[in-house]
Amino acid sequence: MSDLARTPRQIGSVIQRARKKRGWTQMKLAERAGLRQATISMIESGEKPAKLESILAVLAALDLELRIGQRSKGHGSDIEALF
């Protein structure tokens, strides 16, 4: 799985898709990540800032990792079309 995300909302969408692909509820992901269900909801909605530690815990629970790379030349609106 390789997804591009530049905004909190896009990160939340990637996490939500990965969770649903596994057939997990937000509660199950929260338990595996050691977080509250409300935190998972907040991360998936991307409406409020989430702590980096929380995002990393969620990614680890989903067996995903964060990679940093050069920003591509596309516009933000081009990226939005992916989600």
- Domains of the chain listed by start with CATH number: 8-62 (1.10.260.40)
Amino acid letter at 19?
R
CA distance 34 to 82: 30
Q: What is the pTM of this model?
A: 0.83
Q: What is the pLDDT of residue 77?
A: 56
3-class SS letters over 33-44: HCCCHHHHHHHH
pLDDT tier at 72 (50, 70, 90 boundaries)?
confident
Report which of residues 75 and 5 the model is more confident about: 5
**Exposed/middle/buried for residue 53 (C-beta within 10 Å: 0-12, 13-18, 19+):** exposed
Contact residues for 56 (Cβ-Cβ < 8 A; gap 6+)? 66
pLDDT above 80: residue 1: no
CA angle 21–41–33, rounded 5-degree value: 70
Question: How do residues 8-50 score in pLDDT, each as one tens digit?
Answer: 999 999 999 999 999 999 999 999 999 999 999 999 999 898 9
